[in-house]
Chain A
Amino acid sequence: MKIKFENTFIAFILGLTMYGCAKDKGNYEYQNVPKIEVNDQSIVGTIFIQQGSSLKLNPEIQLNGNNDDLSYEWFVYLNSPSASYVQDSTKISNTKNLDYIIDPNIFTIGETYKLTFKVTNNINGISSFHFYQLSISDIFTQGWMFLEDKSGKADLSMILNNGTVYHDIYSFRNSNHPIVNPKSFTISNASITDDVGPSGKKYYIVGQTDAVELDGTTMKKRFDYEYLFFSPPNIIKPSYIAWGGSSGSNVGVLLNDGHVHINMVGGFPGAKKFGAQLRSPNNGYDYALAPQHISGNSYTDTYNIIMFDTKNKRFYGVTTSALNSFDEANQNSSIFDMNNVGLDLIKLDSSNITEIRNAIMKDDGGKGYLLQFRTLRNASNPSITVGKQEIISPGIAQASDITASTLSPHLFYVNDGKLYRYEVTSNTYTIEYTLPSNEIATKIKFQKHGYGNSIPRLILSTWNGSEGKVYFFKINQTGAIESLDKTFSGFGKIIDLAYKY
């Protein structure tokens, strides 16, 4: 009896032990709760908005069978690359639709923010989210900017794409830093990371004895001229600061006293600034570059940047450590010799062929020439020199500025109050427009996509002795002027222009 009981006991214990190994089948049930969806089809991409202006957003909410018992929250985070990962969000509203005035105490100009719309189902506590990207801009969003000479002092004006015009931009915002005798104004065409200032496009105003780097959003001075150098040169005489090289953004070019100083950026660490002036290959430091440059198309190009020496009347290939001569094997000097051009430069520009660059030049006798060259030498194009022709078009050698069409083989310039269009291929010209008799042209620029996709705009600035004027011409697909689109007045004497986007 006792043995039988003990056997049963052992069997029971063993049974219990083995039961522990049985798989737990579970008895859970999962219920799908239909999620509320939030959407906003009306907003695509970043919302650019100014301080003090009103932001209205009406996101759509799909209940998907949920009750209409919801609560709403709108909050923002600073979303710039340098923002802290542990910052608090700021709640700006708790209504369904947002109607909010951008508060300057919360939103800083030039910064980007992530705006979150949170919808919570009060019954089950489940929240849904929708995100917007905000960029707080100043009034200067996109359009043409003009450097003006106003009684010897530099100022900026801007024509926005919607036609709004702003004047006195530099003088109003930088009244404590006037720049005399303005020379050039450039905007880099891509973002530059130099580990000195914030990453972004570079804006420079250059005057005869001073220059500044501007903040592209606020148009306030960011850096003094001397701060742009590792060690500033002894003579301060700037004439041009711009960015070029492959994709227009890896080599900074600064002209001081005719000598070029280079800034090279890339993926490597450390601060990048302008270094000491470069030496020329044959004339030591006895050279003076024209305040223009032309870039290649890609970093694999034989010549990334080409500049012209007005003293020795020749071109140089510019690298980060030297001005270089053009290898004889790379050019056909019977067309022309890049190392000994013997002409004066009027304008270095691109052309309607991506690989070819135009140099419009003149001789001492008042004749104009078009010299064309490539920046890439390879097996199919063993010579970088492409062609040289005398330009048979009235007064081109006296033109204050010339621009090359990037749509068709044409050059535009003004002489004696007439706007000429010179055709490179046929060596002929047409008169496209006649200016009022008291106006002289100061600058001219061709903008390929000025009116949207491949509808070009020609921008011409004039001066009548007391007021500057800007003309916008529409160009048709054959490359001729279709119509005068708009004129804008109230400018100082326009010295330079650049497109901000």
Chain B
Amino acid sequence: MKNWTNIFGFLCSLLFLIGCSEDKPLMYQEDSKVYFLKNTTETSRDSIEKSFAFDPTNVTSDTIALNFRIIGFPKDVDREIAVKVKEGSTAKLGYHFKIDNLFIPANSSNGSAELIFFRREGLKDSTVRADLLIAENENFEVGYEDVIGNSKINRVTLRFSITDLLSKPTNWQTLWQNMFGDYSNTKILFLTQQLNYTAWNVPYLFPQDQSNMINKARIAIYEYEKMNGPLMDENGNRVIIP
């Protein structure tokens, strides 16, 4: 009985003593992850379609910024990012393209690598594609996928295609059809030259740019026809800007 009271008393005093110890702050240590910065307002594109067909013949390469962002805290050293090319990709690393500056700089949450495309002979009659995948290395784990509503936004792979073959932009139907009418190779080359415009794969245009392009295109075809008569496309149809 006496023993029991002693133990009880001892436990009570111990409880009070615990109350006096310093509280250690809780810090959450998150693992470093890296992902492609895409589908944001700054870099809204989901994939890259590079066509050299709109470029002058002396252009042999094109550099595109490849933006990354990390999850976790920045560190005071440059940290390399690992990226691998998906199996079955037709674009060959080192021949069709290369990636430079593939790292997250010290004390930064963002990194911008350079994806460089080369204009190779074979691209004149074909299109090569590749999927870049973020890979795990000693610095970073693979980033994340965003779930917005019912859709999932992929931020760990990036698809691109390279060609020198003149082809219809995938967004012709959604963006350009309304402005310039039916597609033809002749029409897009004419517009590229007259509007001094090559970014045919943009996801959207502001209204003031749309109307300016339409009006410029209309007067360009008018001036052309005045000098040369109707411009005929590869299918034998007259090029018309509605």
- Residues of chain A whose beta carbon lies under 8 Å from any beta carbon of chain B: 3, 6-7, 9-10, 13, 230-231, 262-266, 268-273, 275-279, 284-285, 320-321
10 nearest A-B pairs in the assembled complex, by CB-CB distance = A275-B212, A276-B215, A276-B216, A270-B206, A321-B211, A272-B208, A320-B211, A279-B218, A230-B212, A321-B214
Interface residues of B (CB under 8 A from A): 1-2, 5, 8-9, 12, 206-212, 214-216, 218-219, 222
Interface residue SS majority, chain A = loop
How many angstroms from the CA of A265 to the CA of B214 in the assembled complex?
Answer: 17
Beyond A268-B206, A272-B208, A277-B215, list 13 extra A-B contacts (CB 8 Å).
A3-B2, A263-B208, A264-B207, A264-B208, A266-B207, A268-B207, A268-B208, A275-B208, A275-B216, A276-B215, A277-B219, A284-B222, A321-B214
Contact partner, B215, options A268, A284, A321, Cβ 8 Å: A321
Assembled-state Cα–Cα distance A266/B208 (Å) = 9
Q: Shortest Cβ distance from A95 into chain B, in angstroms?
A: 51
Q: Which residues of A contact B211 (CB under 8 A)?
A: 262, 264, 275, 320-321
Cα(A265)–Cα(B215), bound, Å: 17
Task: Kindly list chain B residues whose C-beta atoms are within 8 Å of the C-beta of A262.
Answer: 211, 215
Structural contact, A285 and B216, CB atoms closer than 8 A: no
Contacts of A277 in B (CB 8 A): 215, 219
Complex Cα gap A346–B196 (Å): 41
Chain A residues in 8 Å Cβ range of B222: 279, 284-285
B206 and A276 within 8 A (CB): no
For A3, the chain B residues whose CB sits under 8 A away are 1-2, 5
Nearest-CB residue, chain A, relative to B241: A279
A257 CB to closest chain B CB, in angstroms? 12
Q: How far is the CA of A230 from the CA of B208 in the complex (A)?
A: 10
Chain B residues with CB under 8 A of A278: 215
**How long is the Cα–Cα vector from A383 to B74 in the complex, in angstroms?**
68
Quote the shortest CB–CB distance from B219 to chain A (angstroms): 6
Cβ-defined contact, A269 with B12, below 8 A = no
A271 → B minimal CB distance (Å)? 8
| Residue ID in chain B nearest A7 by CB atoms | B5
Q: Who on chain B is nearest to A13 by CB? A: B12
By beta carbon, the residue of chain A nearest B41 is A269
The residue in chain B whose Cβ has the minimal distance to the Cβ of A269 is: B206
Nearest B residue to A262 via CB reads B211
C-alpha spacing A276/B219, complex, angstroms: 8
Closest CB in chain B relative to A198 CB, distance in Å: 18
